Amino acid sequence: MKKAVILTADQFEDMEVMYPLFRLQEEGWRVDVAAPKIEEIHGEFGYGALMPDMTIAEVDPDKYDLLVVPGGSPDGAPSVVRKIKKAHEITKSFFSKNKPVASICHGPWTLADADVIKGRELTSYWHDGVPESVKEAGGKWIDKEVVVDRNLVTSRWPADLPAFMREVIKLVNK
């Protein structure tokens, strides 16, 4: 069974966590949600509440086939995850092994802070300093619903989720 891990925290963007979670489960994947603590986390719009399967500190990236880094508001989950050193280590591990990584909205903040996007094409939410963080980290920011650059799939916001997950599923089924 293929395994994915979603790195998030309280005040995640509901659809950006739940849609990939359910879509991957439909494909027969085991999906673990990792957060800073083992306590219930909530979507910022109240659609989803989840009990994490593990803490981000407990994630062993070698046990996973896909990393998903969703977004949320600039003061919510993405601003918490991007500050966690272990989240950077997990991200670096996936990139160093050319394993699939999917990130949407404010999620690319973690990729930028992990210093893995130099020379890579990607997209993100278009405000809140996310494109600037991508560019400062050496990434080429493109305003498109989905951008695929080798092992990396990125999208801008919840309305892009169908295109995002279509490309993620294509990538992991190669």
Q: What is the pLDDT of residue 66?
A: 98
Say what the pTM is: 0.98
127 is a catalytic site residue = no
Q: Give the C-alpha separation, 91 to 44, whole Å.
A: 24
Fold of 3-172: Rossmann fold (3.40.50)
Mean per-residue pLDDT of the chain:
97
**Domain assignments of the chain as residue spans, ordered by start:** 3-172
> In tens digits, what is the pLDDT along the chain, a chain of 174 residues?
999 999 999 999 999 999 999 999 999 999 999 999 999 999 999 987 899 999 999 999 999 999 999 999 999 999 999 999 999 999 999 999 999 999 999 999 999 999 999 999 999 999 999 999 999 999 999 999 999 999 999 999 999 999 999 999 999 998
Distance CA 133, CA 145 (A): 19
CB 153 within 8 A of CB 167: yes
